[in-house]
Amino acid sequence: MKTAIAGLGLIGGSAAKAYHEAGHTVYGLDGDQTVLGFAQLAGVVDAPLDHDNIRECDCLLVALPPAAAMAFLQEWAPYIPAQCLTMDFCGTKRAICQRGFELARQYGFTFVGGHPMAGSHHSGYAHSRADLFAGASMIVVPPVTDDMAFLDFLKQLLAPLRLRCLTVATAEEHDKNIAFTSQLAHVVSNAYIKSPTAGRHKGFSAGSYRDLTRVAWLAPDMWTELFLENRDNLMQEIDTLIAELKEYRDAMERMDRAGLRQLLEDGRQRKGEVDGWTP
C-alpha cells in the first residue's frame, strides 16, 4: 500500500510510523521542512508528497488542524486520484466534512471524516510513536453510514494503525459528543490549574490532581481553533457544568448535608450508568 500523510505532528507522525512499520510506502508532507527531513532520515517517510506521487496513493491521511486541512484539500483535490481514499484526522467534523464531501464529489475521489481517539498532552513529531493508535477507537464520518462493504474496506486501509474499532457517526453527532468527552475536559483542566492554591500542591497532591490536570498542558493554537469551531456545543456543555457546580456550592452554603450527599450519590450513580457498571 502507498499512503500519503499531510502533517507530521504527533498524530500524523504516529500514523506515518505505523504504516512504515507495517511495511507500506509512506509519502509525507509537513510545513516544517526540518521535521520532514528528519522523518526521511529515519526512514519513516520514503519521499516527500508531491503532485506526481499522490497519483500512486491508495490512502491520503490529512493530520492538520481544521483550517489548514481545508486549505490543503482545496489545493490538492485536483491531484487526488479516484482510487485514493482521503481521510482527515481533525478534532471537529462539521466544517471539514462539508468541504471534504463537496470536493470529493467535484473531483471524483472518496472522502471520509476521521478522528482517532488517541493522543497525548505532548505534541509534535518528536513525541509520535507507531503504537499511539493501538487499541483505540476511530470515529469515522463516511459519505454513507450503512455500507458495510465500504466500512470493511476502510478497516483494511486503516489496519496498520491497529485500532480497536471504528465508531460510525454523523459530523453533527461527532461534534456534539466530543464537546463533552474531550473539549470540556480540556477547558476544565486548563481552568482548574489556575487556582492560586495550585502553586502549593506539592506534598498535598496524588492521583486525583494528576488525572485532572494532565490535559491542562495543551497546544493553545490548536485547541483555540477547535473550541471556536465547536463553540455552540462546547458552550452548552460549559453552561451545564456551571449549573451543576452551583448546586454543590449552594448546598454547602446552606450547610445542607442531606442535599450535598444526594448530589454526590447522584454523580456516583450516574458514573455507573454511563460507563455500564454498578458502583
pLDDT higher than 60, residue 224: yes
Confirm if 63 and 128 have CB atoms less than 8 A apart: no
Q: Measured between alpha carbons, how far is 275 from 279 in angstroms, rounded to an integer?
A: 10
Confirm if 127 and 100 have CB atoms less than 8 A apart: no
- Does residue 43 come out as left (phi exceeding 0), alpha (psi in the -120 to 50 range) or beta? left
Q: How confident is the model at residue 204 (pLDDT cuts 50, 70, 90)?
A: confident
Q: Measured between alpha carbons, how far is 162 from 104 in angstroms, rounded to an integer?
A: 27
Neighbour-count burial of 187, counting CB atoms closer than 10 A to its CB (0-12 exposed, 13-18 middle, 19+ buried): buried
Confirm if 192 and 217 have CB atoms less than 8 A apart: no
2-6: strand order across its sheet: 47-48, 25-29, 2-6, 59-62, 85-88, 110-116, 137-141, 165-168
Confirm if 85 and 110 have CB atoms less than 8 A apart: yes
For 165, other C-beta atoms within 10 Å of its C-beta total 12
Comparing CA positions, the residue from 21, 76, 89, 70 lying closest to residue 49 is: 76
pLDDT at residue 184, as a whole number: 98
pLDDT at residue 279, as a whole number: 52
Per residue in 27-76, pLDDT tens?
A: 999 999 999 999 999 999 999 999 999 999 999 999 999 999 999 999 99
pLDDT at residue 95, as a whole number: 96
Of 35-49, 169-183, 203-217, 250-264, the range with the lowest mean pLDDT is 203-217
Confirm if 115 and 93 have CB atoms less than 8 A apart: yes
Confirm if 120 and 127 have CB atoms less than 8 A apart: yes
What's the pTM? 0.91
Neighbour-count burial of 58, counting CB atoms closer than 10 A to its CB (0-12 exposed, 13-18 middle, 19+ buried): middle
pLDDT at residue 151, as a whole number: 93
Residues of the chain with CATH 3.40.50.720: 2-169
Per residue in 175-192, pLDDT tens?
A: 999 999 999 999 999 999
pLDDT at residue 145, as a whole number: 82
pLDDT higher than 60, residue 256: yes
Is 2-169 assigned to CATH 3.40.50.720? yes
174-275 belongs to which homologous superfamily? Answer: 6-phosphogluconate dehydrogenase C-terminal like domain (1.10.3660.10)
Neighbour-count burial of 197, counting CB atoms closer than 10 A to its CB (0-12 exposed, 13-18 middle, 19+ buried): exposed
pLDDT at residue 121, as a whole number: 73
pLDDT higher than 80, residue 10: yes
pLDDT higher than 80, residue 122: no
Confirm if 46 and 29 have CB atoms less than 8 A apart: no
Q: What is the arithmetic mean of pLDDT over 123-129?
A: 90
pLDDT higher than 70, residue 131: yes
Q: What is the arithmetic mean of pLDDT over 153-179?
A: 96
Strand duo 85-88 + 137-141: pairing: unpaired
Q: What is the arithmetic mean of pLDDT over 208-232?
A: 94
What is the full DSSP assignment across 22-45?
A: TT-EEEEE-S-HHHHHHHHHTTS-
Q: How confident is the model at residue 123 (pLDDT cuts 50, 70, 90)?
A: confident
Per residue in 141-157, pLDDT tens?
A: 999 888 899 999 999 99
Residues of the chain with CATH 1.10.3660.10: 174-275
Q: Which residues pair with 113 in a beta bridge?
A: 88, 141
Q: How confident is the model at residue 278 (pLDDT cuts 50, 70, 90)?
A: low
Confirm if 151 and 144 have CB atoms less than 8 A apart: no
For 152, other C-beta atoms within 10 Å of its C-beta total 10
Q: What is the arithmetic mean of pLDDT over 82-108?
A: 97
